[in-house]
Amino acid sequence: MTAAKHDVFQAIADPTRREVLRLLSNEEMPISKITSYFSISRTAIVKHLHILAEADLVQAKKQGREKLYMLQPEPLNEVKEWLSYYEQFWNNKLSVLKHFVEEGETQGLSLVESKEKKRTT
């Protein structure tokens, strides 16, 4: 269970942590190297890494005196799925139409547009 105080949404909320993820997407790195890219202390970076690890977005393996961190992007899928619900609402009218046609009359869409068309005839 491990309570998991930090979920993926909180983990990616911080810009520094997003930058860390970006760094690790290119290659795995020890803490000291990650820190070298930022102007904050190593301790602060370690805390961010702990939060990312809690959300399973990074994984670490000790190698000698170094601790190598690597990206683990799978949990981002949760965010993607969350987003997918909202995609029907933005983008363009086409996607709204697509949703309407595929899923039927949900969300109070209520065929207003086609009624309007009829009225103008």
Partner DNA sequence: ATAATATGAAACCATTAGGTGTTATATTTA
Partner DNA sequence: TAAATATAACACCTAATGGTTTCATATTAT
Of the candidate spans 20-28, 43-51, 86-94, 102-110, the one that interacts with DNA by CB under 7 A turns out to be 43-51
Tell me which of 4, 40, 70, 111 binds DNA, using CB under 7 A.
Answer: 40
> What b/e sequence results for 94-114 when a residue is b if at least 16 CB atoms lie within 10 Å of its CB, and e otherwise?
eebeebbeeeeeeeeeeeeee
Tell me which of 76, 98, 99, 100 binds a second copy, using CB under 8 A.
Answer: 76
Tell me which of 46, 53, 76, 96 binds DNA, using CB under 7 A.
Answer: 46
Tell me which of 36, 41, 50, 82 binds a second copy, using CB under 8 A.
Answer: 82
Provide CB contacts within 8 A for 3, sequence distance 6+. none
d(CA 91, CA 72): 29
Q: 36 is in the binding site of which of a second copy, DNA, none (Cβ under 5 to 8 A by kind)?
A: none
By CB under 7 A, is residue 47 in contact with DNA? yes
Provide CB contacts within 8 A for 2, sequence distance 6+. none
Judged by CB under 7 A, the chain residues 84 through 103 that form the site for DNA are none
The identity of residue 62, as a single letter, is K
By CB under 7 A, is residue 44 in contact with DNA? yes
